[in-house]
Amino acid sequence: MNLSTPVVSKVVVVGGGIFGASSALHLARQGIRTVLVNDGPLASGASGRSLAWLNSARRRSAAYHYLRLAGIDRYRTLAAKHPGAAWLRFDGGLTWDADDSSNEIADVFAHERSIGYDALLLSAEEIASITPGVDARSVPAQGAIFNPGEGWVDLPSLIALLVSEFQTLGGEVVTDGGRAKLLTRGGRAGAVTLDDGREIGADAVLLATGAAVPSMALDSGKTIPDATPIALLVRTEAIDHPLRAVLNTPRVAIRPMPAGGFALDSAWSEEEVVARGDGTYQVDQSTIRGLLEEASKVLTGNPKLTVASYGVGPKPIPGDGEPVFGPLKELEGCYVAFSHSGATLGLIAGEILADEIATGEANPLLNGFRPTRF
Ligand SMILES: Cc1cc2nc3c(=O)[nH]c(=O)nc-3n(C[C@H](O)[C@H](O)[C@H](O)COP(=O)(O)OP(=O)(O)OC[C@H]3O[C@@H](n4cnc5c(N)ncnc54)[C@H](O)[C@@H]3O)c2cc1C
């Protein structure tokens, strides 16, 4: 609860991914009448096909690192409320680099230690005693970094939980409403319209539409540089395997899933996806097979992995790689949430954005991440 009197009484949140669900819940917790609208079912965008590794590993600006740590802190609190949850785990993250001149594991380790980010530098032989399930033969002589404080979340499960509380608090959810459009009233964001012609009025509108944020912001006169790539997430069938940590390796990233399979992605496999002119994507069987094989190589026992499903589509990333959160100067009452690492940031960003929308007061934590920087 915020002690300031809210400056808005009704808000429409457009986008049923993690940023929209989290912001809507935090607004409802502040007693603000909130409508969450999504074009399809909830979690049907990037949040439904995310690796969702909770981390602040490697190097980034101090402000971004701090925000991510606050993000992980909120997940820790949530995990304490849901002990034993299969959809939120803090079993650490293990990462290593290729065995060539690009290997920067020693430098990254020194950096992480210098900023107090929990990190252990392990030789291939030491890994098994710290975290199970990794084939030591795939780890090069430079070793691997284990970050015990990292974890992962199953975003569709989390979104369902957040939206369930949102509805208990009186929040209204409109799914499958088609592409909502922002309407201005009296020179400010005043409503959205849905495909069926319905118009939902509001004192403020949050655009949390993932990869669609830049085009929707442009309609309001704001250019937000966009570096959104197409991403591929492959989910395996359930398998009995001891891996618990999230692995980030040169050829594949792996994280366990609640039902016992693994979620896989990598940079090379996403580059192999072909975006067709009609908005659909071509994913070759050889790409999926290659990713399964790369995953098998780094797992103990080199298990045969089989694909259960895959998700493909845009992964929202702003042009300069840093989050874009807060009000648009060009259109009063319109806010945006557009960022990579939305799994890590989802809870904290929703909390702060709701606070800012409710009070009209800027939180300094987001100062470096405003749309006004463009
Ligand atoms: C393969 C992959 C791996 C990732 N790995 C990680 C990771 O390891 N760690 C991490 O922290 N993050 C990771 N991310 C990033 C993270 O998943 C995203 O940043 C986050 O899910 C984005 O959430 P969102 O709410 O902004 O967007 P989305 O989840 O895309 O939600 C936006 C929603 O808005 C809807 N929508 C769009 N336009 C409209 C409209 N006009 N009207 C109504 N609805 C609309 C969309 O259909 C969608 O449902 C990864 C993402 C991908 C794809």
Distance 26 CA to ligand 1 centre (A): 18
8 Å CB contact between 122 and 143: yes
Q: Determine the pLDDT at residue 5.
A: 79
Q: How many CB atoms lie within 10 A of CB 181?
A: 14
Residues in contact with 265: Cβ distance below 8 Å, sequence separation at least 6, in sequence order: 51, 231, 232, 233, 234, 252, 253, 291
Dig out the tokens for 354 from the structure: 């709701």
Q: Determine the pLDDT at residue 2.
A: 58
Q: Which domains does the chain have, with CATH numbers?
A: 10-48+155-225+320-373 (3.50.50.60), 90-150+227-314 (3.30.9.10)
Q: What is the DSSP letter of 21?
A: H
Residues with CB under 6 A from ligand 1: 14-20, 37-40, 44-47, 49-53, 179-180, 208-210, 212, 231, 233, 265, 315-316, 339-344
Q: Determine the pLDDT at residue 24.
A: 99
Q: Determine the pLDDT at residue 82.
A: 97
**Residues 179, 81: Cα–Cα separation, whole Å:** 35
Distance 190 CA to ligand 1 centre (A): 25
**Residues 101, 104: Cα–Cα separation, whole Å:** 8
**Residues 144, 216: Cα–Cα separation, whole Å:** 42
DSSP-derived secondary structure for 30-78: TT-EEEEE-SSSTT-SGGGG---EE---S---HHHHHHHHHHHHHHHHH
For 220, the 3-state DSSP assignment is coil
Distance 120 CA to ligand 1 centre (A): 31
Q: Determine the pLDDT at residue 161.
A: 98
Q: Among residues 16, 29, 35, which one has the least CA distance to residue 204?
A: 35
In the chain the first and final C-alpha atoms are separated, in Å, by 32
Residues in contact with 210: Cβ distance below 8 Å, sequence separation at least 6, in sequence order: 15, 17, 19, 45, 46, 47, 314, 316, 338, 342
Distance 339 CA to ligand 1 centre (A): 8
Low-confidence spans in the chain with pLDDT less than 50: none
> What's phi and psi for 182, nearest 5 deg?
-85, 135
For 185, the 3-state DSSP assignment is strand
Dig out the tokens for 17 from the structure: 């991914």
Burial class (CB in 10 A: 0-12, 13-18, 19+), 3: exposed
Q: Determine the pLDDT at residue 3.
A: 59
Distance 48 CA to ligand 1 centre (A): 7
Q: What predicted TM-score, i.e. pTM, was given to this entire model?
A: 0.98
Q: Among residues 253, 296, 209, 221, which one has the least CA distance to residue 21?
A: 209
**Residues 163, 186: Cα–Cα separation, whole Å:** 31
Distance 20 CA to ligand 1 centre (A): 10
Output the residue whose Cα is nearest ligand 1's atom 52: 50
Q: List, for residues 258-269, the tens digit of each pLDDT value.
A: 999 999 999 999
**Residues 84, 258: Cα–Cα separation, whole Å:** 11
**Residues 193, 178: Cα–Cα separation, whole Å:** 9
Pocket test for ligand 1, best of 37, 49, 50, 338 (most atoms within 8 A of CB): 50
Atom of ligand 1 nearest to the CA of 49: 53
Atom of ligand 1 nearest to the CA of 339: 19
8 Å CB contact between 256 and 89: yes
